[in-house]
Amino acid sequence: MSWTKVLAEDALSTGTREVVKVGDRSILLLNQDGTIYAVNSKCPHLKLSLKNGKITSDGEIVCPWHKSSFNLTTGAAKDWTPWPPVVGQVMAMVSSAKPLEIFPVKIEEGSIWVEA
């Protein structure tokens, strides 16, 4: 893995999100109260976009498609619901929760860098 400059620091103001490409990876950058997170832009279950996922006060992103949530710091899955609501709660009991891929971030020389 290597560090890649992805965006100017001032291009990601508090509360904003931006999807960037690093090699063949699509990474979602989020600025939450001045802390910048970099996560895989796709939910680990159905590979659908997390860009519009709700951010909770507990520092988690909620998949807008199936409502599973993931810790922005560790990637750990919480409230794992891998299929639509009717079947999802039952299937969650028999399928393993998949963590969200997290990438290290640093701010240097006015730019956001991601290690991927």
Q: Which residues of 80-104 are buried (b: 16+ CB within 10 A; e: fewer)?
A: bbbeeeeebeeebeeeebeebbbbe
Lowest mean pLDDT segment, chosen from 15-19, 39-43, 62-66: 62-66
Q: Domain 3-115, what fold?
A: Rieske Iron-sulfur Protein (2.102.10)
pTM score above 0.85: yes
pLDDT at 20 over 70: yes
Neighbours of 111 (CB within 10 A): 14
Q: Over range 48-75, report the average pLDDT.
A: 93
Please check the confidence at residue 89 and state whether its pLDDT lies above 60. no
Percent of the chain at pLDDT > 90 equals 73
Listing DSSP states for 21-42 in one string gives: EETTEEEEEEEETTEEEEEESB
Domain limits, the chain: 3-115
114 pLDDT higher than 70: yes
Which of 4-18 are b and which e, b meaning 16 or more Cβ less than 10 Å from the residue's Cβ?
bebeeeeebeeeebb
